[in-house]
Structures are given as structure tokens and as C-alpha cells.
Amino acid sequence: MDKVKEMTLNFTTAGSERNKIYKNKKQEFTQEESSALQPEASASVSEPEASASVSEPVDSPAGLEEEVVVPWWKDWFRDSAVEDSDQIVAFDCEHAHYKNLVKDKKKASSVAVVDMKGRVLYQSNVSHNSDDIHFTRKGSAISGIYRGNVRFGLKMEDVCAKVGKCFKDKVIIHCAGATDFLSLGLKPGEYNNFDLQTYSKEPRINEHGVHVINQISLKRIAKTYFIKDF
């Protein structure tokens, strides 16, 4: 357990450290570019060198910025011991929207747990009374949850027990997954977990024209790092 806690701490700090490296590289690059573009004191009276006209162009800062867009967790994982791969899992849930349930109180309707290589460790639908759930064509198309899914799923307590077993002594990666934990009847504070949204953020302008920093969505993370859109 101590090793898992140490891994969680290292994993949690890895994103911020990666971000610092990225910023430093960019800053050093722009400073070098700035120095290269500044003429020396004697440049106004010296003759240009014959090779100056055929020198290679210097890449712009934007070019370097594109080169360093690399998932930071891959660097972290590459530098870690091989056996650690079995101690890291990720999970996500889709939720059933009850007609008479407070908006922020959701129940899991499906759950999947995968390892660092994307292999499915556990996947299941959760049983609900379909008459109590609000279905929409658009919502079902996005979540993949239909009446048949919830009618023939497993009991919530059975799913919760199996997911909890997958989480034992693991570092759990998720994206805004506190709701997912609670929707399964699990308490996030009882597990070693890492929320990707604590690292990935993006600037935007809100409806009042104010510049703000928002947590990045799972969809945006997939599009940025895995070139997938859904």
C-alpha cells in the first residue's frame, strides 16, 4: 500500500512537472530566437558573410510548441518500473437519469475499467427499472444507454463489489470521476485516484467576455492526445 501511495503522489506531480518543462523549453527557445534576431553592435559597419544568404531558416516558436505536445503520462510511465503497469487502471461510467431524482444525484447505468494498455478488466451494465428513467433519443445516442441495457444489467451491489475489487491497491485514473465513484456507491476518498482535470486546463472567454481557465473535457483530451473525436 505504501508503494501505491508513493506512485499516486509521483503520478499526481508528474503533470505539473511536465508542464514546467514545456514552458521552460518554450521560454528558452524564444529567448534564443530574440538574441539571434538582435544585431550586434558592429553589424551596421561589417560586411555580410557570403554564407549568410544560404543559411538554414530558424524554426518559429510555434513550431517547437507543436513538437512538445506529447502526453505527459507516457513519459511518466516510460520512466517507471515495468511492474507498475499492473497497478494503474482507469474507469468511466454512463449514468441513468431518473425522472424523480435530484439532478446531481446520478446512478451508474454502465461502467468499464481498463488497464494502462487499454485492455478491459471489467465492463457491465447496471440493472434499473426502465420506467423510472428518463430516456431521450439524443441522450441514448450519446451514452449508448437504452431500455434494454438497464433491464438486463447486473445488480448495483454486484457491480459495485467487482469494481471495488478492480480498484484495490491501484492508482485509478479518471476525468471528473467523483460523480462516477458516487454513482456506483463508492467513496473516491477511499481510493488512490488521479483526476486528469487537475492537470489539463484550457483558456476560453465566457459569456461575459471575461478570460477564464476551464477544466478540459474528456472529449478534448481524446482529441488532443489520441486524435480521436466522438
Q: Show me where the domains of the chain are located.
A: 1-35+59-80, 83-196, 200-230
Structure-model confidence comparison of residues 65 and 6, the more confident one: 6
Residue that wins the pLDDT comparison between 97 and 55: 97
> Could you tell me if residue 209 is left (phi over 0), alpha (psi between -120 and 50 degrees) or otherwise beta?
left
pLDDT at residue 103, rounded to an integer: 58
CA distances from 25 to 22, 65, 227 (A): 5, 9, 24
Does the pLDDT at position 20 exceed 60?
A: no
- Greater model confidence, 159 or 218: 159
Of the two residues 121 and 73, the one the predictor is more confident about is: 121
Residue 2: the pLDDT is 53
Bigger pLDDT: 157 or 27?
A: 157
**Residue 74: is its pLDDT beyond 80?**
no
Is the confidence at residue 25, as pLDDT, over 50? no
Q: For residue 164, which of 188, 186, 182, 194 has the smallest C-alpha distance?
A: 186
Which of the four pLDDT bands, split at 50, 70 and 90, describes residue 87? confident
Max Cα-Cα span within the chain: 87
Position 39 scores a pLDDT of: 47
- Whether 181 shows a pLDDT value over 90: the answer reads yes
Higher per-residue pLDDT: 19 or 160: 160
Domain 83-196 in this protein, CATH class: alpha beta
What Å distances lie between residue 68 and 24, 34, 57, 141, CA to CA? 11, 20, 20, 35
**pLDDT score of 220 more than 50:** yes
pLDDT tens sequence across 131-144: 777 777 776 766 77
Can you give the pLDDT at residue 229? Answer: 58
pLDDT tops 60 at residue 58: no
